[in-house]
Structure 1
Amino acid sequence: MSWLSLPESLNTHQVRVEVKACGLSSVDLQLCREMKMERELLSVGRDIVGVVKKVGSKVSLFQVEEEVVGILPLDSPFSGLCGVIDIDEHYIVHKPEQLSGVTVAASLRDAVAAYTALHTLAHMAARHSVLVVDGASSFGLMCIQLAWYHGLKVFTTSHSPQDHTFLEQLRPTVGVQDPLVVRVIPVYKGPSTLLPAILEETGGLGVDIVIDSGVHIHKGDETDFVPEKHDLIDVLAVGGHWVTSCSHLQLDPPDSSYLHLKSASLSFLNPEAWTASSAQQGRYLHILKDIVDKMSTGVLRPRPEEAFPLYDATVAMETLQQDPKRKAVVKLSSED
């Protein structure tokens, strides 16, 4: 969709944004079907960074030429690849001047998911312990940094020797240069190492919070080092909280009984809930603003992502749809 095809007038609370960069990630087709959003064209590149070019008559938060960041809602008629989009002012926040557009486009969605998991669902507090499964993933890295910042004792799993080295070398950008992770557990050597390592580090008590990025439902599945549900229930402490990204997780009666014995709880992570409902827009905007502030000061740092030109977006999107854990950034402007 080009600038010329956009309507001349905006709705009262809409903002017209010229997109400078957008983040690509896989589209959850199952979620779209469940939310009755099936249509021929789905919005991609929804994590956007751009410059305000026009504002609606009742827009009070933004002015022309200000830099903004945000996530397009699932039902948006626009894609970040359009170049120029119209978006409600309640989905975007100001971008700090010193923050790279490529950085925020690469990690905004995962940072929102990390906030949702740790703050909203797990109710983290200082001195809690947390196990982040696959800490070298974009989502896992955001969880690790956010948990460490709030004073949690962080454990994570590594899925390759390269990831293991990367995670062990994580350090804060300011202050005491202690590792962000207390212990990195190499599950690529065998999933049986997870429980003994956690019990050893916690004096046999387990962790207060577990955050996964997928879980195997049936015993014997060993692809991609994804843990089984029994492994994660085993490492939970009494009163612990498990946050899962697995939308089709099924608990058998013995699993429920085990969680009951531990007085533990389970939450399902769906970060799309913020833009799918207008019930908590104020809280969502507060989260977005805090994320970009922490990115601008180096508290939250994504793994570097190569920025693709627009003509490579189709190929990049096809790759991402096959590997949902990967991310990509498309740069629509040479300015950043």
Structure 2
Amino acid sequence: MRTVRLNVSEDGTQSQLVYTDDAPVLSARAGHVLVDVKACGLSPLNHKALVAMNDSNSDLPVGFEISGIVKEIGPEVTSVQVGDAVTGILPLSSECSGCADECEISEFAVVNKPESVNHITAAGAILPGVWAYTALRYQGHITAGDTVLICDGATANGIIAIQLAQRWGAKVMATAANQVEADFLEKLEPSIAAVINMSKTKSLIETCLAETGGLGVDCVIDQGVEMVSSGERYSELVLSSLSHSGEGEVTKRRPITKHDIISILGFGGRWVTSTGQLQLDPPDSQFLFMKGAAVSFLFDNIWVLSGAQQGKYLHIIQDLMEKLQKEELRPTIHHTLMLPDVTSELERLSPHLIGKVVMRT
């Protein structure tokens, strides 16, 4: 069997992606199903989380967002049958990779895939969809009429978040790092209330306050912020981070700072952040306190770390599949590739691509 694994050194400081075509053949344990993988969405590897969830193992899984056909069911499985088309997310502690010919997954971690939704679309939408659904519904508590700012709106996560927020009646603004991303966002239907090109705007704060009549936004969803306090100047930031725009153009990305976000939040605003190492200084906390604002941390794998909220998790995935079937959600697939090409792709995969990269078998 073909598969891709991540080999990590004993001290966790070095890692190497490895492709093999002679991995042991899998079988389904009790409560699990064996899936013939047809597609797997690719995301930049979170090495820290992978090592933390597999601390006694140096051979780690690669690829978690799968769609395929049930090949075998284990004892006690009742929710799916052999031959069913399913999609789901493998846990970080999975013994098998999603980037493989086959993978074993709990029957309670998959849902049936609608026939009209192809495997590439399902695999490309499931993790961005769970990310966006969690941010908007469970942490941002978005309701009709709210104003939402989605940072890096042209990414796979951002695109789905924009569509969900619009579907739920919110006024959506989104940031773009450059003109290529801005052009992409301006062509989305239905149109976004405001596309903020960070390479051209002088001040994110002024732009957002102008768009909201000085009231500020109800919710901000970021995909990483700079650890810059309110007393530091933007000109003092070192713009050393380079990323590919998705059109062959290499551009510097102007960072969004925590001061930007805190300043544009309105009364009772909600800040949903993907920055795990967020540091708030006393002035930052005081500013948030005076606004009655809330900060939530968004980790897209949280639902598969515990079975305590399994019902909500399955509801999210089922609702996403229904929305894909009805074309209420339209993920953007940046490109697809074959299984042997996964190692080289992941080594250079940027989190800022326009859309999603998907492996197909």
Normalising by structure 1, report the TM-score: 0.91
Shift of 1:12: 2.6
Gaps of 5+ in 1: 173-178
Matched, 1:182 2:198: no
**Counterpart residue type for residue 297 of structure 2:** F
Contact in 2 for aligned 1:131/1:154 (Cα 8 Å): yes
* Residue matched to 2:63: 45
Give distance in 2, aligned partners of 1:95 and 1:282: 17
1:69-127 Cα offsets, whole Å, 9 max, x none, are 01111010111222112211011010000102111212321111111111111111111
Matched, 1:251 2:277: no
Contact in 2 for aligned 1:316/1:328 (Cα 8 Å): no
Residue from 108, 123, 140 that aligns with 2:158: 140
Change in Cα spacing, 1:59 to 1:244, as seen in structure 2 (3 Å) is: same
Residue from 274, 280, 294 that aligns with 2:323: 294
Residue from 193, 203, 208 that aligns with 2:203: 193
1:158-196 Cα offsets, whole Å, 9 max, x none, are 111111111111104xxxxxx1x1011111114x33112
Shift of 1:32: 2.8
Change in Cα spacing, 1:40 to 1:244, as seen in structure 2 (3 Å) is: same
Normalising by structure 2, report the TM-score: 0.85
**Counterpart residue type for residue 110 of structure 1:** P
Alignment map for 1:223-238 (pairs within 5 Å): 223=239, 224-238=253-267
SS at match of 1:82: coil
* Residue matched to 2:5: none
CA RMSD of aligned residues (A): 1.8
Alignment map for 1:90-169 (pairs within 5 Å): 90-169=108-187
* Residue matched to 2:289: 260
**Counterpart residue type for residue 132 of structure 1:** I
Change in Cα spacing, 1:4 to 1:269, as seen in structure 2 (3 Å) is: closer
**Counterpart residue type for residue 204 of structure 1:** G
Gaps of 5+ in 2: 3-21, 240-252
Shift of 1:285: 0.6
Matched, 1:316 2:327: no
Greater Cα shift, 35-44 or 119-128: 35-44
Residue from 83, 97, 106 that aligns with 2:101: 83
Change in Cα spacing, 1:232 to 1:38, as seen in structure 2 (3 Å) is: farther
State the identity %: 41
SS at match of 1:21: strand
Alignment map for 1:31-42 (pairs within 5 Å): 31-35=49-53, 37=55, 39-42=57-60
Residue from 208, 219, 227 that aligns with 2:218: 208
Give distance in 1, aligned partners of 2:35 and 2:132: 26
Contact in 2 for aligned 1:106/1:305 (Cα 8 Å): no
**Counterpart residue type for residue 137 of structure 1:** T
1:295-327 Cα offsets, whole Å, 9 max, x none, are 22221112223211122111112112xx23444
SS at match of 1:42: strand
Count the aligned residue pairs.
Answer: 321
Matched, 1:13 2:31: yes
Give distance in 2, aligned partners of 1:92 and 1:35: 21
* Residue matched to 1:63: 81
* Residue matched to 2:17: none
SS at match of 2:35: strand
Change in Cα spacing, 1:69 to 1:7, as seen in structure 2 (3 Å) is: closer
Greater percentage in helix:
1
